[in-house]
Amino acid sequence: MHSFFKFLSVICSIFCLLIYSIIFLGEKTIPDKITVIENEDYNVPNVLGIDLYSLESEEEAGVVLETVKASQKPTEIKLLNIIPVKNTLITNSKRQYVVPGGELFGIKLYTDGVIIVDFEEIETDSGFECPGKTADIKIGDIVKSVNGKDVTSSSHFSKILQESKGKEIEIKVLRKNKTINLIFKTVKEKDSGDYKAGLWVRDSTAGLGTVTFYNKSNNTFAGLGHPIYDVDTNEIMPIKTGIMADVTLTGLSKSTFGNVGELCGKMSGKNNGMLCLNDETGIYGYSVTDRTEEIPVAVKQEVKEGKAQIRCTVTNEELEYYDIEITKIYSNSSSINKDMIIKVTDEKLLEVTGGIVQGMSGSPIIQNGKLVGAVTHVFVNNPKQGYAIFAERMLETSNSQEKISTEKLKTAS
């Protein structure tokens, strides 16, 4: 009898360990947020070969992506419909369709305020001084206004500072999303007699990327899959307005081990749209496309490891599809634009580019006839591989943009 109870105790321990393992793995593998498409059932991924509770879209009322109303509620996912595994936010949505991109576009971005990128010591009659450091200005600060007046450009800011002639002025800066008021004084340069601030600032940038998709329902577009950073401060550039410019591909340098190549292009005078939002998930704006072929956007649980294609422009020929493989998926990635690892397998693309190059960011990823993501980063020591973002993330941001940038659109019109 003693042996029987000992055996039973071992069996119970193994069973408890198995249940604990399933719960632990379920917590890690089940997404924190799940979008369920109307009239389509979604089965939570099985863990250790055991199916968890099946969710049906009709049972949950949540966000409809077209309107982006925050009405989500947590749903408890259970093992065998008994044992709690994880609370997940469920969103009920209609299937959305977009026109896949792949073409290069030029980026002309103008900041909302001016960005402090460096300091300079000014020689005065009493020695070297740095007014910016004295005023506790930091590199990366965004100057929004001076004495209550909005700063519109670098030249405007410079003019205000010169005209202050050493008098105290109040500068409002944005630092890490927090507004700070500072008192600032220019100093008189010894040799020239001019009043100087000792600040290097930036109010614009330019570059190129790849369009991920066009949304014909509201004439919006999305591209890049990651934000545009200031090259000196490594902060996301705050966008006031911007232009989506037409680009002609002029050449490229191939990626090699330890060296990332890039696409080279020339911007024409033709503007194809306006930029409204520079976000962690990409750059967004308004543009109209003549193309009509629309494909469904996949929600992240529909994305699978395995074969897929990217669509991009790496020659002066038409847009082309190239074979890749999705090798890893991170359903709960803490890095917003690193949801997947992809690997280029197409011999033609490898011959031309060596893998992923700068300028390919935003290239749409197609799997099973759906837009599943966009290329975002390249591995420097293995340019055949890189990261990608879920298309679902970009679509959510794009839909949110419509509300965020309504006033900007009115102003541009």
Average of per-residue pLDDT across 269-295: 88
Q: Which of 112, 203, 230, 346 is catalytic?
A: 346
In percent, the amount of the chain with pLDDT more than 90 equals: 26
> What average pLDDT does the structure give for the chain?
80
Kindly state the DSSP code that residue 160 receives in the 8-state scheme.
H
263 and 363 in a single domain? The answer is yes
Same domain as 216, residue 188:
no
Q: Provide the pLDDT confidence category of residue 406 given band limits of 50, 70 and 90.
A: low
Q: Is 361 a catalytic residue?
A: yes
Highest mean pLDDT among 3-7, 83-87, 381-385: 381-385
Model confidence band, residue 164 (pLDDT cutoffs 50, 70, 90): confident
310: pLDDT strictly greater than 90: yes
How many structural domains are present in the chain?
A: 3
Catalytic residue at 226? yes
Does residue 56 share a domain with residue 133? no
Q: State residue 327's pLDDT score.
A: 95
Picking from 78-92, 208-222, 317-331, which range would have the lowest pLDDT averaged per residue? 78-92
Structural domain contains residue 385: yes
Strands (E) located in 192-305: 195-196, 199-215, 220-223, 239-253, 262-279, 282-287, 295-296
Average pLDDT over residues 182-204: 85
Which whole number is the average pLDDT over 200-206?
86
Q: What is the structure's pLDDT at 175?
A: 87
What CATH number is given to the structural domain containing 146? Answer: 2.30.42.10
Instruction: Supply the pLDDT for residue 186.
Output: 86
Q: Do 158 and 248 fall into the same domain?
A: no
What pLDDT score was predicted for residue 70? 37
Query: Do 235 and 182 belong to one domain?
Result: no
Q: Residue 297 belongs to a domain with what CATH number?
A: 2.40.10.120
Q: Which of 190-199, 300-309, 344-353 has the least mean pLDDT?
A: 190-199
Domain that holds residue 76: 27-95
Q: Which of 57, 154, 361, 398 is catalytic?
A: 361
358 and 318 in a common domain:
yes
> In the structure, what pLDDT confidence band is assigned to residue 388 with cuts at 50, 70 and 90?
very high
Mean pLDDT of 117-130: 86
* pLDDT for the residue numbered 113: 85
Choosing from 93, 141, 226, 230, which is the catalytic residue? 226
Which pLDDT score, from 0 to 100, does residue 41 have? 58
Using CB atoms within 10 A of its CB, is residue 343 exposed (0-12), middle (13-18) or buried (19+)?
middle
**H or E element, residue 407:** helix 406-412
Q: Is residue 228 part of a domain?
A: yes
Helical H segments across 250-335, by residue range: none
Using a cut of 0.85, tell me whether the model's pTM lies above it. Answer: no
Residue 324, pLDDT > 90, answer: yes
| 234-253 average pLDDT score | 86
Q: What is the pLDDT of residue 66?
A: 37
Instruction: Please tell me whether residues 212 and 157 are part of one structural domain.
Output: no
Query: What is the rounded CA–CA span in Å between residue 11 and residue 16?
Result: 9
User: Tell me: the pLDDT tens digits for 16-74?
Assistant: 676 666 656 655 666 666 666 666 655 555 544 444 444 443 333 333 333 333 345 56
Decide if pLDDT at 307 tops 90. Answer: yes
224 shares a domain with 182 = no
Last residue of a domain, one of 147, 181, 197: 197
What is the C-alpha R_g of the chain?
26
For residue 190, is it within any domain?
A: yes
